[in-house]
């Protein structure tokens, strides 16, 4: 009888990714940090790289660009040494994106910019969704991302500051 083993690194990484999917960013960050510690302790280098990528994305979205850049660089270095072309390419894209943001490039996507314009005109999520023919949940997600990227506390602050653009 043959036996095979499957290893996927710390389960905390999978739980962190699930928390991200559920929109629970703080919990996701906590779980991904735990996974990074555990994967490093296990010597699970491929999963260290993947966890660094996940956590770098969370930090980028949160606006913590210095930490995001360090994590993305670590992921790129490990993925390069282990010859993991997919994660290496993803890390390079993330490193480049973070570098562009740090140089003052617009952190918002074109769609986020469009939605910010609607928010500045005091449109509700439902009205924005109807105008753009997208779901209200998608609008909520974009608004949440805009708030995180620009460091605004709420829609009111976003509308007030965006009106000056």
As averages over each run of 10 residues, the pLDDT of the chain (165 residues) reads 70 94 92 96 94 94 88 95 94 88 76 92 94 94 89 85 69
- The tally of domains found in the chain comes to 2
pLDDT at position 6 is: 61
- Which residue, 102, 128, 147, sits at the end of a domain? 102
The answer to whether residues 24 and 80 belong to one domain is: yes
> Does residue 123 fall inside a structural domain?
yes
pLDDT at position 109 is: 85
The answer to whether residues 56 and 135 belong to one domain is: no
Compute the distance between CA of residue 30 and CA of residue 34 in angstroms, rounded to an integer.
6
Task: Report in angstroms the alpha-carbon separations of 71 from 9, 68, 108, 113.
Answer: 17, 5, 21, 27
pLDDT at position 150 is: 81
The answer to whether residues 30 and 65 belong to one domain is: yes
pLDDT at position 159 is: 85
The answer to whether residues 115 and 97 belong to one domain is: no
pLDDT at position 23 is: 87
Compute the distance between CA of residue 50 and CA of residue 152 in angstroms, rounded to an integer.
29
pTM given for the model: 0.61
pLDDT at position 106 is: 72
The answer to whether residues 77 and 137 belong to one domain is: no
The answer to whether residues 126 and 151 belong to one domain is: yes
> Does residue 3 fall inside a structural domain?
no
pLDDT at position 129 is: 94
The answer to whether residues 137 and 98 belong to one domain is: no
């Amino acid at each position: 009888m043959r036996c095979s083993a499957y290893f996927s690194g710390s389960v905390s990484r999978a739980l962190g990714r699930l928390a991200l999917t559920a929109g629970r960013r703080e919990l996701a960050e906590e779980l991904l940090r735990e996974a990074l510690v555990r994967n490093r302790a296990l010597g699970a280098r491929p999963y260290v790289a993947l966890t660094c990528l996940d956590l770098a994305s969370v930090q980028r979205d949160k606006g913590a660009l210095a930490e995001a850049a360090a994590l993305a660089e670590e992921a790129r270095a490990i993925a390069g040494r282990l010859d993991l072309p997919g994660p290496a390419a993803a890390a390079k894209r993330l490193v480049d994106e973070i570098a562009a943001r740090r140089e003052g490039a617009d952190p918002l996507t074109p769609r986020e910019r469009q939605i910010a314009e609607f928010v500045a005109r005091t449109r509700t999520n439902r009205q924005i969704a109807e105008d753009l023919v997208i779901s209200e949940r998608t609008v909520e997600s974009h608004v949440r991302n805009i708030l995180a990227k620009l460091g605004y506390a709420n829609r009111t602050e976003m509308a007030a500051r965006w009106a000056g653009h």
